[in-house]
Amino acid sequence: MKYGIYYAYWEKEWTGDYFKYIDKVKELGFDILEISCGAFKKDYTTDEQLLRIGEYAKEKGIILTAGYGPQKDENLASPDEAVQKNAIEFFKETLRKLHLMNIHILGGGLYSYWPVDFNSDINKERDFETSVKNMRLIAKYAEEYDITLGMEVLNRFEGYLINTCDECLRYIDAVGNNRVGVMLDTFHMNIEEDNIGDAIRKAGDKLVHFHMGERNRKVPGKGTMPWAEIGQALRDIHYQHAAVMEPFVLQGGEVGQDIKIWRNLLPDTSEAKLDTDAKHSCEFVRHVFEL
């Protein structure tokens, strides 16, 4: 396994200096920096910039992975054909940009949108079928760019289409392309799964990306998540892909609003403290997962 962390742990807005975070995660002992595709709309809008990020990460020995929660007008499951068309074009362009950065995994609630408006027109079976139809097309573009798509299983408060590992397996089986796999996240599994270890084993070789976080979204090792059991389950399925922390501890800004962080989760939220916690957490999961 390779171990990583999501850049937004340090940020209050969905933006950031990826060059800075490549250096930071290298110093803290990680193998991977996970970025957000949202930056393509704000900070990194040219092919030249994306190529430079990819080259810099390679120079520093850091692997880049990507995550994204599509916006409402990027929803592959929308009953509105115009929205579907826009979503397909969005993903085509996004995959092209990820290829420029030498990124080979994109994870998130890619099959729908995030955060979901639960007052909107929700029809789970209809939206499931629409999403599968469109994901089959996106998977062909993913093949072209050598990118795997991780369908993140989200809890019921953030999504409705895929809430459990079983539902995710049904989805990827319906898509029928090995470029589309299961993505599990301990935070969401803690809410939805009867047994986290069993869910990981059920995903088996279909598990293509893995997110880690405590029940309250702190870094692993700062709460009561059963990390030894999780590590054993990952060993049981011979998981060899990325294990990426996705902690959120800072109140405020776009990140705090979207993730629903209404208070700072640490008494000391200085960058130095966040760095120390991330470093120790990386050491912790390496030890627990590789027993």
Catalytic residues: 152, 246
Taking alpha carbons only, the member of 287, 282, 290 closest to residue 30 is 282
Three-state secondary structure call for residue 67: strand
Q: Return d(Cα 41, Cα 61) in angstroms, integer.
A: 26
84-93's contacts with Cβ under 8 Å and 24+ in sequence apart are 84/130, 84/134, 87/134, 88/134, 88/137, 88/138, 91/138, 91/141, 92/138, 92/141
Strand 32-36 to 63-67 pairing: parallel
Taking alpha carbons only, the member of 195, 187, 190, 196 closest to residue 247 is 187
- Contact between residue 244 and residue 65 where contact means Cβ atoms under 8 Å apart: yes
**Chain centre distance of CA 157:** 17
Q: Return d(Cα 283, Cα 158) in angstroms, integer.
A: 30
Sorted by sequence, the CB contacts under 8 Å of residue 197 that are 6+ apart come out as: 226, 229, 230, 232, 233
- Contact between residue 112 and residue 131 where contact means Cβ atoms under 8 Å apart: yes
- Contact between residue 151 and residue 183 where contact means Cβ atoms under 8 Å apart: yes
